[in-house]
Amino acid sequence: MEDVFIELVASVGRQEPVVLATIVSSDGSSPLPAGAMMLVKSSDGEIVGTVGGGLLEALVIEDAKKYFTEKLPPKVGTFDLNDDVSNEGMICGGSVDVLLEPINNADLRVFQTLLNARNEGADCVLMRTFDDSGKIDRGVFLSSQRDTLPETILSHTGNDTSIVTDAIRHSFGKEEIRRINTARGGIIIQPIRGLQDLIIFGGGHISKHLAQIATIAGFSTTVIDDREEFANPERFPGASRVLASEYDKAFSKIEVKPSTFIVIVTRGHQFDELVLEKAVRTPARYIGMIGSKRKVISCFKNLIERGVSIVELKKVHAPIGLDIGAVTAEEIAVSIVAEMVRVRRGFDAPSYSISDQLMEWFDNQKDFL
């Protein structure tokens, strides 16, 4: 997976010059929203990430190349995207403001802090401040600092300190980049979302593809299976952790947070049911279980008889995944990740249509509510 922050930290650590390009605002339509980032790694124009491709990306790369031969200060450049250039492959209109900033060893601590926090699942905010000379200062605020932002870092904003502080506090967990003009220059406030943990129970064919696709989509993936031949790092090279454990004991070895996603795709109904019973009693944001509607009803009935409530079960995505007509293991994995992304983007309710049979069965269980 290409990751701008991972590659930035690695390149700067190797003393390789890089330029970071970030969309900070747009007027009209643009290929990607504010916050999209691209790392230009050399004067040859090698890139990681994207600001949307097409003409915009080509123009940004050409401007970034100048930083490898000239000592230029960071700047926000405006790139016009008019409809009359559609023959160049661009169908957007309006203009896009892109921050170009050379990154060197003096900046490494800031981006290493950001990368560590993000990889641990913590939301953070990257702030850049500019003065009239073009000098840039950077700071990273962690979610744990929400109520104690150090005023000294914000001091050069003058009388605008409270406005900036409030803007930072309200940025945690969001994705909208903010640009504020101050008496002494300008400030760009960029929220960075922490990676969501994905815990996959089962190490079979679907899990193999699911772990790969989910990692590309920005999840930090743990795979659990009770068979050592399936629970090994070689089978899941992109996973953050692979754990061989009996399913009923696995929950004591992992942390399930309110941001955690859980996918249940074990090799048998009895194991799926065992995991689901424990999963619904965690604060996980997403719980999905594979299986037909008939299997889901049977499983839910068994769990209700063991004291699990309808309220807990109604938050489960089962059958799992968006309905895209998936048949192969690869396609099923795509449908599952698509549903997780849908939840990550704010659509928390299960996305499938519960069958009349399942809904009728739910409505007849009022004694259990």
* Residue the block writes with tokens 């990681």: 48
Mean pLDDT of 222-233: 94
Per DSSP, the three-state class of 245 is coil
pLDDT tens for each residue of 31-83: 778 889 999 998 777 899 999 888 889 999 999 999 998 888 888 888 887 65
With b for 16 or more beta-carbon neighbours within 10 A and e for fewer, the 10-43 pattern comes to: ebbeeeeebbbbbbbbbeeebbbebbbbbbbbee
Cα(161)–Cα(10) distance, rounded to whole angstroms? 34
pLDDT tens for each residue of 302-334: 999 899 988 888 889 998 999 999 999 999 999
pLDDT tens for each residue of 268-279: 989 999 999 999
Give residue 186's pLDDT.
Answer: 80
- Between 180 and 274, the higher pLDDT residue: 274
Secondary structure (DSSP) of 281-346: TS--SEEEE-S-HHHHHHHHHHHHHTT--HHHHHTEE-S-S--S---SHHHHHHHHHHHHHHHHTT
Q: How confident is the model at residue 249 (pLDDT cuts 50, 70, 90)?
A: very high
Mean pLDDT of 7-31: 88
Instruction: Answer whether the bond into residue 258 is a cis peptide, omega within 30°.
Output: no
**Is the pLDDT at 162 greater than 80, yes or no?**
no
Mean pLDDT of 157-168: 71
For the chain, domain boundaries = 4-103, 107-192, 196-368
**Is the pLDDT at 90 greater than 50, yes or no?**
no
In the chain, the percentage of residues whose pLDDT exceeds 90 is 46
- Determine contact, residues 188/178, Cβ cutoff 8 Å: yes
SS3 content of the chain, % helix, strand, coil (to 5): 40, 25, 40
Cα(170)–Cα(347) distance, rounded to whole angstroms? 21
Cα(34)–Cα(32) distance, rounded to whole angstroms? 7
**Is the pLDDT at 158 greater than 80, yes or no?**
no
pLDDT tens for each residue of 337-367: 999 999 988 776 665 545 555 666 666 665 5
Q: Which tokens go with 338? A: 């698509």
Q: How confident is the model at residue 88 (pLDDT cuts 50, 70, 90)?
A: very low
Give residue 361's pLDDT.
Answer: 65
Give residue 176's pLDDT.
Answer: 84
**Is the pLDDT at 164 greater than 80, yes or no?**
no
Mean pLDDT of 4-21: 93
Q: How confident is the model at residue 84 (pLDDT cuts 50, 70, 90)?
A: very low
Ranked by mean pLDDT, which of 23-32, 282-291, 308-317 comes out on top? 282-291
Give residue 119's pLDDT.
Answer: 83
Q: Which CATH architecture fits 196-368?
A: 3-Layer(aba) Sandwich (3.40)
**pTM for the full predicted model:** 0.75
Q: In the chain, how long is the greatest CA-to-CA distance? A: 74
Give residue 150's pLDDT.
Answer: 59
- Between 10 and 152, the higher pLDDT residue: 10
